[in-house]
Amino acid sequence: MEIPAGEIVMLVGPSGCGKTTTMKMINRLIEPTSGRIFIGDDDVTKANADDLRRHIGYVIQGAGLFPHMSVGDNIALVPRLLKWDKKKVDARIDELLELVNLDPGQYRDRYPKELSGGQQQRVGVARALAADPPVLLMDEPFGAVDPITRQRLQDELLRLQEELRKTIVFVTHDFDEAMKLGDRIAILQVGSQIVQYDTPEAILADPADEFVEDFVGSGTALKQLSLTRVRDVELHDAAVARVGADAREAVSAARDLGREWIIVLDDQDRPLRWVPVRDVERNGTLSSVTRDDDLEAVTLSSTLNDALDEMLTSSHGVVVVTGRRNAYQGVVRVETIMDAMQQLQGASSP
């Protein structure tokens, strides 16, 4: 099996088929009884095991953070082992917390138990990235969080990967997650046998055998919706205004667009909150709008399936789309998703 540098390869297969064992052989937590594993031109079985593990990030379910260490100390673990100087370590902690969307001032000194499951998982990713390893191993990292948080973590990973281009081996038993995140998917059967190793599109179009067919599952039209990204469809304009902007101008711009709600953005264009036009008019100001932590949004890398999910639980009939650094990009309408679905069905039926 060859894993191209800079790609995300998903190992997917039933429980007990050897996914975790495969990962642990890559970073030598388990030694293979036969065969060889190379990273670049180097045989890992000949490398110094400690040295090897410091250059491979490892993320596990539940994040595996040390409970008695602060978030910052958890992230700093490997850099300190590598004897980075204090200034560089401190700067790296803040940089990584920013990268995984946690405010450093707020989270650096907290303890893991003071964080939600999703936040702990983000810190787990930050810790794995701390020494900037070229390879990341992720073993069912998002298996223990609720579906909405999982979708956000997946989107964040895709956004990170656009910037970082790591070689990522990612284990899951969820085929939808494999399709969404994987450049390639290896479908494993009991005994770590590779039944099929290909792109998501190729596996969906031509499953290797009945086992893969079962695994891929039914509902192909909806699955196709998981292969189309938000960036591939047309975005629409919502009424938006920066926090602190002129309220009267914002109200009249929203009315011109025929909108009842305004999306208020912070000074870096990140969506803060949906505010009714009527409230803005009554208050006469946009300067006291706070962040709504439950604001539903997807990213350009999200699938149309994710967008549909968010839309079905939102009261706006559209879902907000963000791009790099979480900046506002536009909205997806339900009509856009319906159109895409019809086109996909048209393309896949004779």
Ligand X SMILES: Nc1ncnc2c1ncn2[C@@H]1O[C@H](COP(=O)(O)OP(=O)(O)O)[C@@H](O)[C@H]1O
The contact set with ligand X (CB under 6 A) reads 15-21, 191-192
Q: Cα 130 from chain centroid?
A: 18
73 versus 139: smaller Cβ distance to ligand X: 139
59 versus 277: smaller Cβ distance to ligand X: 59
Residue 192 binds which entry of Mg ion, ligand X, none, with Cβ cut-offs from 5 to 8 Å by kind?
Answer: ligand X
Q: Decide: is 196 part of the binding site for Mg ion (CB under 5 A).
A: no
Identify which of 156, 97, 107 has the alpha carbon closest to the alpha carbon of residue 322: 156
73 versus 177: smaller Cβ distance to ligand X: 177
Residue 345 binds which entry of Mg ion, ligand X, none, with Cβ cut-offs from 5 to 8 Å by kind?
Answer: none
Long-range contacts of 316-322 (CB under 8 A, 24+ apart): 316/261, 316/274, 318/236, 318/238, 320/238, 320/263, 320/271, 320/295, 320/296, 321/230, 321/235, 321/297, 322/270, 322/271, 322/297, 322/298
Say what the alpha-carbon torsion angle 58, 140, 178, 328 is, to the nearest 10 degrees: -80
20 versus 329: smaller Cβ distance to Mg ion: 20
CB atoms within 10 A of CB 314: 16
Determine the interface stretch with Mg ion among 15-23, 86-94, 214-222, 320-328 (rule: CB under 5 A).
15-23
15 versus 48: smaller Cβ distance to ligand X: 15
Residue 223 binds which entry of Mg ion, ligand X, none, with Cβ cut-offs from 5 to 8 Å by kind?
Answer: none
Long-range contacts of 40-46 (CB under 8 A, 24+ apart): 40/5
Residue 67 binds which entry of Mg ion, ligand X, none, with Cβ cut-offs from 5 to 8 Å by kind?
Answer: none
CB atoms within 10 A of CB 139: 20
Minimum CB separation of residue 146 from ligand X in Å reads: 22
Question: Helix %, strand %, coil % for the chain, to 5?
Answer: 45, 20, 35
Minimum CB separation of residue 196 from ligand X in Å reads: 16
Helices (H), 190-333: 200-205, 210-216, 220-225, 247-257, 277-283, 304-312
- What are the beta bridge partners of residue 331? 236, 320
| Residue type present at position 37 | I
Determine the interface stretch with Mg ion among 17-25, 32-40, 98-106, 251-259 (rule: CB under 5 A).
17-25
Determine the interface stretch with Mg ion among 20-28, 112-120, 125-133, 309-317 (rule: CB under 5 A).
20-28
Minimum CB separation of residue 337 from ligand X in Å reads: 34
Q: How far apart are CA 325 and CA 344, in angstroms?
A: 31
Q: Which residue has the tokens 């909405």?
A: 148
- Total residues interacting with Mg ion, rule: CB under 5 A: 1
Q: Which of 9, 10, 20, 344 binds Mg ion (CB under 5 A)?
A: 20
Minimum CB separation of residue 87 from Mg ion in Å reads: 39
Determine the interface stretch with Mg ion among 14-22, 128-136, 220-228, 256-264 (rule: CB under 5 A).
14-22
Q: Decide: is 301 part of the binding site for Mg ion (CB under 5 A).
A: no
Indicate the residue whose CB is closest to ligand X.
18
How many residues belong to the chain? 350
101 versus 192: smaller Cβ distance to ligand X: 192
Binding residues for Mg ion (CB under 5 A): 20
